[in-house]
Structure 1
Amino acid sequence: MPKKVGASLSLDFIEQVFLKNASAYKSAFFKTEHVAADFSGGSTMDGQARNTGKPAEYWVQKFLMSELLTTDVSGTRFLATAVGEAVKTETDTQIRQELLAASTLMRGFDGITQSTESLLATLPLTQPAVQAITSRLSRPESARDVFRFSATEYDKHVRYRTVDLDNGATLTAPSNDFSDVFQETPLSDDGRVRFTTEGKVLDRRLRRTK
């Protein structure tokens, strides 16, 4: 139990704690080899986070004054690099289309704290597509690392531009190459344009959704 002693904070360890509601509690455990010269690592448990299963961020950041072990930059970079490599090297056209769609959807997770494993589980991906990403992580165990997703950092490593037209067409290409892949010609002042491209057909299929 914390208590203030002069200008410093003293912590006492309580062996037995009785709670009125056994599920309404928060706890944290930290340890370090050298208090003055090293970071303290540990884990938390939030019995009140029943819906998310994750400890409340205000409690971790404001009350405990702690940060996640995996930073938003490094966690997002690991994921983005794996996605980019998967899209680049995947030979199955259907899986590659899934990866391209997922890459666009991932930007909607900006600021959300979760692991790569849980993030991929929320996306409409088949198991082969998930495996295509996780197998390309530089550290396979990082799939379970919890971090705060950063769309800004993600866009530094994976950039795909998608254009949806009112006729139902969807055009997708790497952002840096989009203007080379698709030539855009304005047709009128109301925003109508014509896109033209040329290439070898690698696959054709009918799909129920985009």
Structure 2
Amino acid sequence: MEIARVFSFLTYPAKNRDNVPEVSGTEIPVRDEKLCRMLNDIYCQADRECNIPIMFVTDGQQNNPVRTEIMRIVSTRRIDAAKALANRLQNATGGQSGMGLFFVCLGTPNAEKIVIARFPADEGIVAEKAEDQLTVQFVEQVFLKSALAYKAVMYKGGDDGDDFWSGHAVDRQVNHGAKSVADYWIVDFLQSDYRSTSQQGTKRLAVALRTAIANAPNANVRHEIAMAAQLARNLNRRQVMTIAEFCDDLHLSEESKRTVVAAVSPPRTLQSRFRFDIGEFTRHISYRSIELDNGAMLSAEIARFEECFDEAVSEVDPELITYSTSGRIVDERLRKVK
């Protein structure tokens, strides 16, 4: 089996409620029995089954308390660390969601993979539980009645992940036509939001940069944004960011940043985080062009623009720039428009 440690907790709906029972938990011995086999299947298949990308929301200082708790569970592998997360789930759960059986599944210490899952708990069975105690037998009794209806999230660290900043979720309890994952599970409990895929986010960035250049209020802003697009290929390929953070990382002026931010469509995706994909970026921004007031146009691959053209700024007039290049003619074209 890939799972090595399993912690289970019975959680109650405690949101906006008083006198809610304490979370009670136990460690499930990993044995070749039905309960562990089913949990192991969920753990092993999470890479495929959990197909909704999510990401922790930061507090502005690159911190998130739930991510901190997840990392503590992975590093300590202790039930008290897992119980803190179970308490957080209980406090985020409203009456409509009811009681639940919460599992925290870990692999070997070097796996750096954690899967957490919540199953609905049958109230009739729960009534039989001795106060403040949770036994393996009770967990099996509850779990096997709802083994196909669950919510789960997988996080990875190490070389296969991104230091637990992002994860993937699935919700086997939502009705057809409902949201893909219950909001209380993603937003309230995990303090996360849906994440754009690297391709979606990178395409949105590239389109925003092109639109921003077209709508730029002056030449300085156009030049800044064009240079940012050219320097983008030097970004860390593992970096996860928002479009606003891209502007900050490339040191755009406030005016240029406002121009880019205003070009993001739809605006609600402005805070969506994504991993920069240079291949996708190049598909949407391949060439850089400059038009001079004498009617000349210069164009080259964005990565090689500065190699193709030498630039000399006039000492008399800083806005007067001379470009020079040399090469063999390989093609000529006549165009109807620019």
TM-score range, shorter chain: 0.5 to 0.7
Structure 2 Cα separation of the partners of residues 138 and 32 of structure 1: 37
Q: What SS does the corresponding residue of 1:163 show, helix, strand or coil?
A: helix
202, 207, 213: which one aligns with 1:87? 213
1:58 counterpart residue number: 160
Deviation for aligned residue 1:152: 0.8
Deviation for aligned residue 1:43: 9.2
166, 175, 186: which one aligns with 2:327? 186
Q: What SS does the corresponding residue of 1:143 show, helix, strand or coil?
A: helix
2:39 counterpart residue number: 9
1:72 counterpart residue number: 198
255, 259, 262: which one aligns with 1:132? 259
Structure 1 Cα separation of the partners of residues 233 and 117 of structure 2: 33
Q: What SS does the corresponding residue of 1:83 show, helix, strand or coil?
A: helix
Structure 2 Cα separation of the partners of residues 128 and 36 of structure 1: 52
1:163 maps to 2:265: no
Number of equivalences: 159
Aligned pair in 2 of structure 1 residues 69, 124: CA closer, same or farther (>3 Å)?
closer
When the two structures are superposed, what TM-score results if normalisation uses the length of structure 2?
0.37
Aligned pair in 2 of structure 1 residues 41, 140: CA closer, same or farther (>3 Å)?
farther
What code does the residue aligned with 1:125 have?
A: L
Deviation for aligned residue 1:98: 0.3
Instruction: Answer whether contact 2:241 2:274 (CA < 8 A) is retained.
Output: yes
Q: What SS does the corresponding residue of 1:164 show, helix, strand or coil?
A: helix
Structure 1 Cα separation of the partners of residues 249 and 281 of structure 2: 18
Structure 2 Cα separation of the partners of residues 31 and 60 of structure 1: 24
Structure 2 Cα separation of the partners of residues 30 and 130 of structure 1: 40
Q: What SS does the corresponding residue of 1:76 show, helix, strand or coil?
A: helix
Structure 1 Cα separation of the partners of residues 277 and 154 of structure 2: 23
Deviation for aligned residue 1:154: 0.6
Which structure 2 residue ranges, 5 or more long, are not aligned?
7-29, 43-78, 83-112, 121-146, 170-193, 289-301, 313-322, 330-338
Quick check: which has more Rg, 1 or 2?
2
What code does the residue aligned with 1:17 have?
A: D
Aligned pair in 2 of structure 1 residues 37, 97: CA closer, same or farther (>3 Å)?
farther
What code does the residue aligned with 2:262 have?
A: S
Deviation for aligned residue 1:105: 0.9
Q: What SS does the corresponding residue of 1:8 show, helix, strand or coil?
A: helix
What code does the residue aligned with 1:8 have?
A: M
1:119 maps to 2:246: yes
- The C-alpha deviation readout for 1:58-114, integer Å capped at 9, x for no partner, is 35699x984883211101011111011111221311000000000011111252232
When the two structures are superposed, what TM-score results if normalisation uses the length of structure 1?
0.55
What code does the residue aligned with 2:240 have?
A: Q
1:150 maps to 2:277: yes
Instruction: Answer whether contact 1:112 1:148 (CA < 8 A) is retained.
Output: yes
- The C-alpha deviation readout for 1:7-58, integer Å capped at 9, x for no partner, is 22179xxxx7159xxxxxx98866799x9699x67697x9xxxxxxxx7663
2:231 counterpart residue number: 105
Aligned pair in 2 of structure 1 residues 98, 167: CA closer, same or farther (>3 Å)?
closer
Deviation for aligned residue 1:163: 2.9
Q: Structure 1 vs Structure 2: percent identity of aligned residues?
A: 16
Which structure 1 residue ranges, 5 or more long, are not aligned?
20-25, 47-54, 171-181, 188-192, 194-210
CA RMSD between the two structures: 4.7
Aligned pair in 2 of structure 1 residues 41, 77: CA closer, same or farther (>3 Å)?
farther
- The C-alpha deviation readout for 1:132-162, integer Å capped at 9, x for no partner, is 1111111223232221111110111122235
Aligned pair in 2 of structure 1 residues 184, 109: CA closer, same or farther (>3 Å)?
same
Q: Counterparts in 2 of 1:186-205, with a 5 A limit? A: 186=327
Structure 2 Cα separation of the partners of residues 5 and 155 of structure 1: 50
Structure 1 Cα separation of the partners of residues 227 and 235 of structure 2: 14
What code does the residue aligned with 2:160 have?
A: Y
